[in-house]
Amino acid sequence: MSVYAHPDATALVQAALLEDLRFGDDLTCRAVVPPMARLSAVVRAKAPGVLCGLPLAETVFAQLGGGVDVTGYVDDGTVVQTGDVVLTCHGRADILLKGERTFLNFAQRLSGTATLARRYVEAVAGTGARILDTRKTTPGLRLLQKHAVAAGGAHNHRIGLYDQVLIKDNHIALMGADEDNGPAEAVRRCRAVYGSQAMIEVEIEDLDDLDLVIDAGASIVLLDNMGVDLLRRAVALRSTRPVLLEASGGITLATVRAIAETGVDRISTGELTHSAPALDLSMRCTPLAG
């Protein structure tokens, strides 16, 4: 199933339209748009970037009653330059005008995430490290934002709490402070519940815990807020054992290359979804003969 056909996306568009219309009408359209008026619309990029979310135009216009044909849009993941036409459509003027902002809000935000993801991927090119997102998403937008991350060439971490174990510091706080009960004990408990094939990730803040969590059966070790020197030491300590190392915490475009060059396998950053600037898109309409 396409992410755009997912019930979460359909419900999200419905909620966004409700914000604008509140079970009422577009007061401006009611006053100035003739009932049979038709428009042709062109959407252009006003800045360079990576596109994502344009298929939502069809969902938006359909939920408003239809009568708009989307005649072309560029595929998710396409790199565009300033001035490029990215979507064209034509049809009922009232539907186009009612749906314009809702559609652009989605497409601009998702394209911004795809653009930032591509910049991170390009920053670590050749190192072997993979860029991943996190659960630091806008409530309700998670599936679409994670799709945008993938459109930009990066990778998705777990989707939610339901699809992968990730033992964090606040889980570990329940284990007790001594060596036998810390992160390694949390790993052992999860391994006992979910079996030998489960993907189990654990966060550590001290390299003294690395050997212990590996021996306990961790699949991935999240190295939280460690500088490049500590990350290099972790990679050396890991040696050839079959466990992935993931760096996270305070990572920026300015620092990600140096982090990738330490030899870690994965780098996760919430910036992809919580702080990506929107990509500027604009829609311009012209009248069509009835």
Active site residues: 101, 136, 168, 203, 224
Provide the greatest CA pair distance for the chain. Answer: 78
One-letter-per-residue 3-state SS of the chain = CCHHHCHHHHHHHHHHHHHHHCCCCCHHHHHHCCCCCEEEEEEEECCCEECCCCCHHHHHHHHCCCCEEEEEECCCCCEECCCCEEEEEEEEHHHHHHHHHHHHHHHHHHHHHHHHHHHHHHHCCCCCCEEECCCCCCCCCHHHHHHHHHHCCCECCCCCCCCCEEECHHHHHHHCCCHHHCHHHHHHHHHHHHCCCCCEEEEECCHHHHHHHHHHCCCEEEEECCCHHHHHHHHHHHCCCCCEEEEECCCCCCCHHHHHCCCCCEEECCHHHHCCCCCCEEEEEEEECC
Rounded to an integer, what distance in angstroms lies between the CA atom of residue 211 and that of residue 122?
Answer: 32
Query: The tokens of 71 are what?
Result: 């005649």
Residue pair 235/245 in contact by the 8 Å Cβ criterion:
yes
Residue pair 225/249 in contact by the 8 Å Cβ criterion:
yes
